[in-house]
Amino acid sequence: MKLGIQDFYPEELSHCFGCGRNNPNGHQLKSYWEGEFTKAKYTPKEFQTAIPGFVYGGLIASLIDCHGTGSAALAAYKNEHREPGSEPALRFVTASLNVDYVKPTPIGIELILVGKILEITNKKVITHIEVFANDVITAVGKVVAVKMPDSFIAK
């Protein structure tokens, strides 16, 4: 499996339910570059349903959220011409999340998330994300991610 930016997060910041490699209960999403776009994949489990046959919208929001912060970190390292894992670590949190549910997302297949960086500044990255099921876009999201403030580090 391809390494994701999340594989380079510092140990103590890798417990996120959505994308932390140290969270055995979570989704363990991995975000990586594919050309100019960022990509992640996830196959929803049978119980992550909304109406039988379709994926739970909250899960889709979660995947977009985590792929958004992952894409932000990818973009920030690239912007600084640094390799993921080099110091200081870049880690982002979500300031705002918007999801439009274009059509029902069928369950039982792998979903592909494709991110496009819309804007990047020193403190903020905005990403547009499309969710594909069988090559059809079922949801579209926008994530505003900001560099993690110190207040987020639990004492």
Nearer to a copy of itself, 22 or 78 (CB): 22
Record the tokens describing residue 146, joined without a space: 């900001």
Q: Which residues bind a copy of itself (CB under 8 A)?
A: 12-13, 15-18, 23, 25-26, 47-54, 56-59, 61-63, 65-66, 93-101, 104, 148, 151-154
CB 77, min distance to a copy of itself, A: 19
Which residues make Cβ contacts (< 8 Å) with residue 37, sequence separation at least 6? 114, 115, 116
Instruction: Give 1: exposed, middle or buried? Use CB within 10 Å, 0-12, 13-18, 19+.
Output: exposed
CB of 36 vs a copy of itself, minimal distance in Å: 26
Taking the least distance from each CB to a copy of itself, the nearer of 78 and 140 is 140
What distance, in Å, lies between the first and last C-alpha atoms of the chain?
34
* Rounded least distance, CB 121 to a copy of itself, Å: 18
- Taking the least distance from each CB to a copy of itself, the nearer of 87 and 100 is 100
- Parallel, antiparallel or unpaired: strands 111-120 and 124-133: antiparallel
